[in-house]
Structure 1
Amino acid sequence: MMTTYTVADGRLDLGDGIQPASILRAATWIDLLNASREEVQAVEQALALELPTREEMQEIESSSRLYREGEALFLTANFLYGADQGEYGSTPITFVLAGHTLLTVRHATPKAFAAFGNRARRTPSLLSSADAVMLHLFEQVVDRLADILERIGADMDRASQSAFRTARGTTHKKANARDADLKSVLIALGEVGEVTSRARETLLGLTRILTFINAEKGQALRKENKATIKVLERDVRSLVEHASFLSNKANFLLDAVLGIINIDQNGIIKTFTVASVALMPPTLVASIYGMNFSSMPELSWRFGYPAALLLMICSAVLPILYFKRKGWL
């Protein structure tokens, strides 16, 4: 799907689908979402450039993601999407600065793109130039990531409180309920770690793009947008630090929850160990008197049976009392 944004006399003209070459050359922003081959060819012919394929966008080396061809800049990074729906992922998006036109090539829709598209419809002045559109998109992405990291922090606080509240409630909470609580905490921490890592991947991609733009000696950005670059770099740096803090906190909580689970498992294993040790002497007594040798004098003793039972009970109780005295129970 191709969407063109053209500003003329302060008015925004939107175009869907393949447009004439004159309109494509006059557009400030051309957004290609899962574009067909015909749409890609129309853009390439109108702007005299070659767009990267989906496979080329997925390449991880820097030279394949950030480069210049003639007067056009090609900037590719992975962006987080789907965090609200829980079906989150990362998708490569390519920004092409070609003269006064910005092209975005993508195969998924991060919420920041949809939000900026709605803003641009209400405020056409945001589309004053191609570099301004790109920077506004980056600002929207950064704002979106900040909201996601704030929500992740709140989710992590709730998971932390739930984990330690569950650990303190050992005397009255059933084992099944405790296991369910700890399982939910582990799932929450896993989701937090996954979203945080993908958010950091997005921030790393933005950092590389901003660094590449600053290193370009050409007129990639207008002079009035230099200050916006500095603000973006500062915001991205602060979010990277916050994402690192959340990642470290998630690892700490994960270790704490696993420690709680290990303590519970050790308690269960200790119970079975004590039970097996306490039953060993009675088993030995029963084994001895179960041999039925004819020369055993106790076989003809009138009180042999109750004496054997008493001996087995005492041999089971004495180890338990010993373990309690040592504090092992």
Structure 2
Amino acid sequence: MIQAYSIENGHMVLREGLPTEAELRAAVWIDLLHPTMAEEHAVQTALRVEVPTREEMQEIESSSRLYKEGDDLFLTANFLYGMDVGEFGSTAITFVLTNTTLITVRYATPKAFPTFAARCQKAPMMLHSPDGVMLHLFEQIVDRLADILERIGGDMDRASTKSFQAARGDMKVNQRSAALKDVLITLGQVGEVTTRASETLLGLNRILTFVGAEKSIAIRKENQGIIKTLVRDVRSLVEHANFLNSRATFLLDAVLGIINVEQNGIIKTFTVVSVALMPPTLIASVYGMNFQHMPELEWMIGYPLAIGLMICTGVLPVLYFKQKGWL
């Protein structure tokens, strides 16, 4: 699908489907979503620029993701998407920056893209230049990542409170286990999201560094200040994402420690029970043997004496464990 954005008479004009060559040349921003071969060919013919294929976008070496052909810049990075629907992931998006047009090639829809398009509808001047469109789109992506990291921080706060409440509270074992399981799932999701967010920020940082080196050609003078702001914001978010990762690791260790303590308590209970039952079992085994000459079997008090002896030998280990502080 092609979405071509241009400004006519001070208003944003959006053309979808397969615009004409003239309409494509007049566009400031051309957004290709799951482009067909016909759509790629139309853009390449109109703008005389090579649109990277999906296979080329997946290449991970830096020289294949950030390069220059003539005056055109080709910038590719992985971006986080799908947080709103709960099925998040990372997708490669390519930005082709020419002197007249910004071309974006993508196969998923991070929320920053429709949000930015809606902002352009209200403020058409954001489409004044292709480099301005790209930098403002980067600003929207950074704002979106900041919101995601803030939400993840809140999820982590709730997970931390829930885990320590489960450890201190007077809950049943199954309720405590369910609570700790939920915390582990939350921490796993937090770690996955922060990792993908860090990947997005790293890709943005590489793009900004590359564009900064070429800014005299690719970026208009009035937009060069945006690069410095973006670099500063990206670095601050990278630090915050690293902090969240460290905190998630700490909480994961704490929850696993709580689970380990719970398991040790259960094992200790079974150990005490087995040790306390060993002497009574021995006594019962002795008097359960079928030997002919066992004088105690003929005593009037033999049965209650054996029962009492089994009770005493079962209670004494428990008292001993309590005295030692093992219970």
| TM-score bracket, shorter-length normalisation | over 0.9
Q: In structure 2, what is the equivalent of residue 147 of structure 1?
A: 147
Larger CA deviation: 295-304 vs 260-269: 295-304
Deviation at 1:152?
A: 1.0
Q: In structure 1, what is the equivalent of residue 272 of structure 2?
A: 274
User: Residues 217 and 81 from structure 1, CA distance in 2 versus in 1: closer, same or farther, beyond 3 angstroms?
Assistant: closer
Match of 1:299 among 297, 300, 306: 297
* Cα distance in 2, alignment partners of residues 31 and 305 from structure 1: 92
**Unpaired stretches in structure 1, ≥5 consecutive residues:** none
- The one-letter amino acid paired with 2:146 is A
* Cα distance in 2, alignment partners of residues 320 and 167 from structure 1: 26
Q: In structure 2, what is the equivalent of residue 179 of structure 1?
A: 177
Aligned pairs for 1:32-43 within 5 A: 32-43=32-43
Matched, 1:165 2:165: yes
* Cα distance in 2, alignment partners of residues 66 and 218 from structure 1: 17
The runs of at least 4 aligned residues of structure 1 exceeding 3 Å deviation read none
Deviation at 1:266?
A: 0.9
Match of 2:314 among 287, 312, 316: 316
Match of 1:224 among 202, 217, 222: 222
Deviation at 1:297?
A: 2.5
Residue aligned with 1:13, SS: strand
- The one-letter amino acid paired with 1:55 is E
* Cα distance in 1, alignment partners of residues 81 and 268 from structure 2: 47
Deviation at 1:25?
A: 1.5
Deviation at 1:162?
A: 1.2
* Cα distance in 1, alignment partners of residues 302 and 310 from structure 2: 12
- The one-letter amino acid paired with 1:125 is M
Q: In structure 2, what is the equivalent of residue 243 of structure 1?
A: 241
* Aligned partners of 2:57 and 2:94 also within 8 Å: yes
- The one-letter amino acid paired with 1:176 is N
Identity %: 67
* Cα distance in 2, alignment partners of residues 314 and 294 from structure 1: 27
* Cα distance in 2, alignment partners of residues 124 and 270 from structure 1: 70
Deviation at 1:50?
A: 1.8
Aligned pairs for 1:88-107 within 5 A: 88-107=88-107
Q: Deviations over 1:236-262 (max 9, x none)?
A: 000000111111111111111111111
Deviation at 1:218?
A: 5.8
Q: In structure 2, what is the equivalent of residue 192 of structure 1?
A: 190
* Cα distance in 2, alignment partners of residues 245 and 207 from structure 1: 18
* Cα distance in 1, alignment partners of residues 280 and 181 from structure 2: 39
* Cα distance in 2, alignment partners of residues 174 and 11 from structure 1: 64
Deviation at 1:190?
A: 1.4
Deviation at 1:301?
A: 2.7
Deviation at 1:120?
A: 0.8
Q: Deviations over 1:288-307 (max 9, x none)?
A: 22221123222333322222
* Cα distance in 1, alignment partners of residues 174 and 64 from structure 2: 52
Q: Taking structure 2 as the reference length, what is the TM-score of the superposition?
A: 0.97
* Cα distance in 1, alignment partners of residues 268 and 207 from structure 2: 56
Q: Deviations over 1:217-239 (max 9, x none)?
A: 76111111111000000000000
**Count of aligned positions:** 327
* Cα distance in 2, alignment partners of residues 159 and 305 from structure 1: 57
* Cα distance in 2, alignment partners of residues 38 and 218 from structure 1: 34
**Unpaired stretches in structure 2, ≥5 consecutive residues:** none
- The one-letter amino acid paired with 1:113 is F
Q: In structure 2, what is the equivalent of residue 21 of structure 1?
A: 21
Residue aligned with 2:86, SS: coil
Match of 2:260 among 256, 262, 265: 262
Deviation at 1:216?
A: 2.5
* Aligned partners of 2:75 and 2:207 also within 8 Å: yes
Residue aligned with 1:290, SS: coil
